[in-house]
């Protein structure tokens, strides 16, 4: 999620250009040692939300906001495969977010891998300025976008707003994820008040109506790309069937993505949002919340998230059972308690 929440730096299958001597990032590859990084607690609100299948379009809203930063938009435009392999890109991005959240020590390796993956993604923009995917401001913004999107999405996902303590917890986990993916933390918000100022500054002074953001929005309502493996004679029928079958998901994806955006972000993009669309969105998620209450968790969570949460629950149950051991009846109290 916060990485969620919760998406985040996206793995792209790209062919990168060599980095010449006059085009170098100047940014350190790694910013944090392993022993400086805290993992996401498996019983946290972040871990509860990130693994839900319904969280995918919320990550979509974050991705659109990410490419509204000129550096990210330009780099994604040049290097990303979102046009030719949109489903594959989404799957790889989700895989990465899930590893940050539920991967244990693998989260640290994933963060390093992403940093190395993005290091060669450098170019000159339309103004001739050298830009890099490791630009500190842009790299941090990728992770930061998860927080405002999940805050807006809370009534849809949970049926209520977050409490103040929950918002503080989500920011702590957002900062943990930022360190996991090696974001330079010098200017990263530390408090909710800091984050609100940070977010407002981006909206008012840094985000733009980038063509890639508009293309992503348009892609949500376009017919899905038919795999090249489909034989040519069958492609027209397959395209028609896919276009018809995908309409409900496209509506869900579009409404959730646009609906959880800050109204100011929609304004920058020139997107309208009606009361009817809001009611439709709330109705969809009301039904989904009912489904999540009635269906077994293994059907509503990504497999890695489901098994990580069950693993944690099993360990906690063992700790409760071990308290019944006869040895505990004769175990001396802890020294601190004795001295007290």
DSSP bridge pairs for 124:
130
Average pLDDT rounded to a whole number, residues 148-170 = 96
pLDDT digits (tens, 9 = 90+) for 195-252: 999 999 999 999 999 999 999 999 888 767 777 788 888 778 877 887 777 778 888 9
Task: Note the helical H segments in the chain.
Answer: 45-50, 56-67, 70-79, 86-102, 105-118, 136-144, 146-157, 164-180, 192-205, 211-219, 235-245, 247-259, 263-269, 275-294, 303-322, 326-329, 335-339
27 located within any domain: no
Q: Give the distance from CA 11 to its chain's centroid.
A: 12
Asked whether the beta carbons of 30 and 107 are under 8 A apart, the reply is no
Indicate the pLDDT class of residue 283, thresholds 50, 70 and 90.
very high
CA distance 90 to 106: 20
7 located within any domain: no
> Hey, what are 145's tokens?
């976008």
The helix/strand/coil state of 78 is helix
Q: Per-residue pLDDT for 11 more than 70?
A: no
Residue-range definition of the domain harbouring residue 285? 34-339
Indicate the pLDDT class of residue 2, thresholds 50, 70 and 90.
very low
Quote the number of domains for the chain. 1
Residues in Cβ contact with 276 at an 8 Å cutoff, skipping those fewer than 6 apart: none
Angle at 237 between CA 212 and CA 245, to 5 degrees: 60
Q: Per-residue pLDDT for 125 more than 50?
A: yes
pLDDT in the model for residue 118: 94
128 located within any domain: yes
pLDDT digits (tens, 9 = 90+) for 311-340: 999 999 998 888 877 666 666 655 444 444
210 located within any domain: yes
Residues in Cβ contact with 107 at an 8 Å cutoff, skipping those fewer than 6 apart: 39, 40, 99, 100, 101, 180
Q: What is the pTM of this model?
A: 0.85
26 located within any domain: no
Q: Output the CA torsion sign for 89, 14, 223, 267.
A: positive
CA distance 286 to 104: 33
Residues in Cβ contact with 60 at an 8 Å cutoff, skipping those fewer than 6 apart: 216, 220, 253, 256, 257
DSSP structure class, residue 227? P
17 located within any domain: no
Average pLDDT rounded to a whole number, residues 109-118 = 95
25 located within any domain: no
Average pLDDT rounded to a whole number, residues 57-83 = 92
CA distance 114 to 10: 8
CA distance 2 to 150: 8
296 located within any domain: yes
pLDDT digits (tens, 9 = 90+) for 81-96: 877 777 778 888 899 9
Counting residues of the chain whose pLDDT is more than 70, the rounded percentage is 88
């Amino acid at each position: 999620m916060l990485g969620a929440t919760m998406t985040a730096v996206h793995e792209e299958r790209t062919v990168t250009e060599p980095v010449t001597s006059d085009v170098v990032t100047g940014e350190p590859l790694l910013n944090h040692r392993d022993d400086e990084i805290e993992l996401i607690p498996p019983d946290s609100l972040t871990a509860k939300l990130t693994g839900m299948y319904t969280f995918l379009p919320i990550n979509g809203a974050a991705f659109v906001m990410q490419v509204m930063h000129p550096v990210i938009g330009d780099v994604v435009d040049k290097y990303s495969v979102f046009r030719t392999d949109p489903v594959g890109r989404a799957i790889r991005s989700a895989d990465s977010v899930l590893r940050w959240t539920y991967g244990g020590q693998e989260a640290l390796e994933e963060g390093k891998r992403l940093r190395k993956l993005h290091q060669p993604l450098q170019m000159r923009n339309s103004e001739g300025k050298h830009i890099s995917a490791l630009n500190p401001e842009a790299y941090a913004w990728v992770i930061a976008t998860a927080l405002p999107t999940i805050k807006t999405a809370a009534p849809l996902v949970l049926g209520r707003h977050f409490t103040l303590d929950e918002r503080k917890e989500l920011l702590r986990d957002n900062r943990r994820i930022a360190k996991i993916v090696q974001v330079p933390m010098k200017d990263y918000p530390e408090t909710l008040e800091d984050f609100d100022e940070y977010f407002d500054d981006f909206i008012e002074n840094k985000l733009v109506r980038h063509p890639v953001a508009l293309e992503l929005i348009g892609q949500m309502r376009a017919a899905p790309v038919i795999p090249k493996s489909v034989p040519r004679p069958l492609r027209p029928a397959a395209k028609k069937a896919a276009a018809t079958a995908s309409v409900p998901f496209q509506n869900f994806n579009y409404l959730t993505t646009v609906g959880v955006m800050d109204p100011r972000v929609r304004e920058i993009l020139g997107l309208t949002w009606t009361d009817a669309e809001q009611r439709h969105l709330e109705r969809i998620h009301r039904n989904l919340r009912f489904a999540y209450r009635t269906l077994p968790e293994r059907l509503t969570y990504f497999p890695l998230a489901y098994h990580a949460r069950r693993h944690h629950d099993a360990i906690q149950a063992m700790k409760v059972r071990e308290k019944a051991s006869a040895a505990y009846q004769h175990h001396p109290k802890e020294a601190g308690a004795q001295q007290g």
